[in-house]
Amino acid sequence: MSSENMISAKSISLRFDTEDSVVNALQNVSINISRGEFVSFIGPSGCGKTTFLRIIADLERPTEGEIEVNGMTPEEARRARAYGYVFQAPGLYPWRTIAANVRLPLEIMKYSRAEISERIQRVLSLVELNGFEKKFPWQLSGGMQQRVSIARALSFDADILLMDEPFGALDEIVRDHLNLQLLKLWLKTNKTICFVTHSIPEAVYLSTKIVVMSPRPGRIIDVIDSALPKQRPLEIRDTKPFIEIAQRVREGLRKGQSYD
Amino acid sequence: MTRSFLPITTIAVFILFFWYCFSIVLNSSWAYDRASRNSQTLTFKELVYDTWSQKKPKLPAPHQVFSEMWETTFNKNITSKRSLVYHTWITLSGTIAGFLFGTILGIILALAIVHDRATDLSIMPWIITSQAIPILALAPMIIVVLGSMGFTGLLPKAVISMYLSFFPVVVGMVKGLRSPEILEIDQMKTWSATKTQILFYLRIPRSIPYLFTSLKLGIAASLVGAIVGELPSGAISGLGARMLAGSYYGQTIKIWSALFAAAILAATLVALIGLIQKIISRRMMLQL
């Protein structure tokens, strides 16, 4: 793994000024993410993990601090289509077929026809959905819809994949399956992945780096570099190193928690 | 269709029943007057027969209206001024023209409002105010002004129709164009889509269901506009003109038959739009 910085954030803060109060969504967040890493952001709701992802994506602007995405400002990175973003909901258009949904960003980015159909085939096979091109979203299960959404985010070959609780709405069996698939996909494509979750096993299973966050104000409590091997069968979750990392994540979450 | 047959028939039977009853009640004084002038007394049977067959009744009986409609629809040359088809066509052409103008104007205004905050703030209050003015008061002014500019006939009617029909289109389309969820707009931003791309790929398809609801309201309003436009213009053709002429001469049967023609026309137009909506939403896989 090269140590080249893909995302580097220096003392990022973001305040939302509402009429009766000031919300510190993020306070003094600094982190470096190298090319090819799989980084999970974990923490309770309100800890700013999604907000941080949105800052990387230029969907929010920080009030303080500096951030570089692939050597550019977030806005430049967004314009250069440096990342694919997978949202909590699949966000598929009901009036478009699966192929047409995957085609959407490619049409917007004005790829040629030949290239579009080649890419649709390639990314749909990456998420194991060949043969579903002509189906409509409502004909697919929730898990399959989310896979389409991942295929769509991969279609334009961005180096970074930002994923905001993509499997949060799915049941645990489907989730396990998709985690396995996502790892395979990551090994195959060597993308840099930022993954927001509030599931400890998911975070430990997937990541090379786990960022534990806490709310009010949103900040980083702990950054854990995982020593687990890149090849991870699901059974790795019962091994000692896995359980140790999970324990450290849990401790971090407890430290940041103030149940008031 | 078959499921709604029974309830609709039930209501129709009720309406017809009360209508016949009211015909007897409202037309009875005329029947009694005439009988007393001729020093006659009326049995109930004679009274009923009289009240349901007067030439200028206060409330014509349903069969009188329908036979008048039948007569003026099927037994008159459709180019004749006595033909109901002819008058319906005149009103329909004004309605369609006004509806098309109104829809186009409504969509253009909605696009401007959604894309430009200044337009939203400056124009929207005027659009709402425009609908607070009674159209009956405004229609003669529109006809006078346009008439002095040399426009008579179809155009003034179409303008009045447009004035009524653009409003539901603006309101519906503004709502429809703004109906995409925040997630969908964010998603578009992550792809660096331009405003135009967001409009065509997302906002317009999302607004289609809203558009059709508006079009149904718009076409009905257009028809009202066309009829109102025929009232003060001294027009000699059109359903509005026929209603007015009927009221000058106390020909209530004629008024009612024009009224029914207008209602049937409105129902047909709304149903037609509903049909187009069904076809398009099936194509777009939208469950409406």
What is the residue extent of each domain of chain B? Answer: 2-59, 84-284
Interface mutation target, options A55, A83, A93, chain B, most CBs of B under 10 Å: A93
3-class secondary-structure state, position B230: helix
> What's the mean pLDDT in B178-193?
95
Q: Which residue of A has its CA nearest to B201?
A: A104
What is the rounded CA–CA span in Å between residue B207 and residue A138? 20
Q: What is the pTM of this model?
A: 0.85
Interface mutation target, options B181, B186, B188, B191, chain A, most CBs of A under 10 Å: B191
Task: State the CATH class of domain B84-284.
Answer: mainly alpha
The pLDDT confidence band at residue B288, using thresholds 50, 70 and 90, is: very low
Does residue A1 sit at the B interface (CB-CB below 8 Å)? no
Put simply, the answer to whether A59 touches B190 (Cβ < 8 Å) is yes
Residue boundaries of the structural domains of chain A: 5-82+159-256, 92-157
Put simply, the answer to whether A84 touches B190 (Cβ < 8 Å) is yes
Does residue A107 sit at the B interface (CB-CB below 8 Å)? yes
Residues A24/A216, Cβ–Cβ less than 8 Å: yes
The yes-or-no verdict on residue A83 having pLDDT over 50 is yes
Structure tokens at A14: 């973001």
Rounded (10°) angle between helices A142-154 and A98-108: 30
What is the rounded CA–CA span in Å between residue B103 and residue B216? 11
Put simply, the answer to whether B285 touches A88 (Cβ < 8 Å) is no
Chains A, B: CB contacts within 8 A come to 49
Restricting to A residues 153-192, those with a Cβ less than 8 Å away from any Cβ of B are: 156
The yes-or-no verdict on residue B224 having pLDDT over 80 is yes
> What's the mean pLDDT in A209-237?
90
Q: How wide is the angle at C-alpha B253 spanned by C-alphas B251 and B254, nearest 5°?
A: 70
> What's the mean pLDDT in B49-63?
92
What is the rounded CA–CA span in Å between residue B163 and residue B135? 9
Does residue A136 sit at the B interface (CB-CB below 8 Å)? yes
The pLDDT confidence band at residue B281, using thresholds 50, 70 and 90, is: confident
> What's the mean pLDDT in A26-51?
92
Residues 6+ apart with CB under 8 A from B143: B156, B160, B229, B232, B233
> What's the mean pLDDT in A223-246?
90
DSSP A167: T
> Comparing C-alpha atoms, which of B18, B72, B51, B76 is closest to residue B258?
B72
* Intra-chain end-to-end CA distance of chain B, in Å: 17
What is the rounded CA–CA span in Å between residue A232 and residue A229? 7
Does residue A108 sit at the B interface (CB-CB below 8 Å)? yes
Does residue A109 sit at the B interface (CB-CB below 8 Å)? yes
Put simply, the answer to whether A87 touches B186 (Cβ < 8 Å) is yes
Q: Which helix (H) or strand (E) holds B175?
A: helix B154-177
Structure tokens at B36: 């007393």
DSSP A72: B
Restricting to B residues 233-272, those with a Cβ less than 8 Å away from any Cβ of A are: none
What is the rounded CA–CA span in Å between residue A35 and residue A2? 7
What is the ipTM for the molecules in this complex?
0.89
Residues B59-118 have pLDDT tens digits of: 999 999 999 999 999 988 888 888 999 999 999 999 999 999 999 999 999 999 999 999
Does residue B193 sit at the A interface (CB-CB below 8 Å)? yes
The yes-or-no verdict on residue B235 having pLDDT over 80 is no
Q: Does domain A5-82+159-256 have CATH number 3.40.1180.10?
A: no
CB pairs under 8 A, 24+ apart, for A249-252? A249/A42, A249/A200, A249/A203, A249/A204, A249/A210, A249/A212, A249/A222, A249/A224, A250/A200, A252/A212, A252/A221, A252/A222, A252/A224
CA quadruple B220, B226, B228, B230: dihedral, nearest 10: -150
The yes-or-no verdict on residue A212 having pLDDT over 90 is yes
B183 → closest Cβ in A89, A108, A136:
A89
Q: Which residue of B has its CA nearest to A101?
A: B201
Structure tokens at B275: 């049909």
CA quadruple B184, B186, B192, B194: dihedral, nearest 10: 60
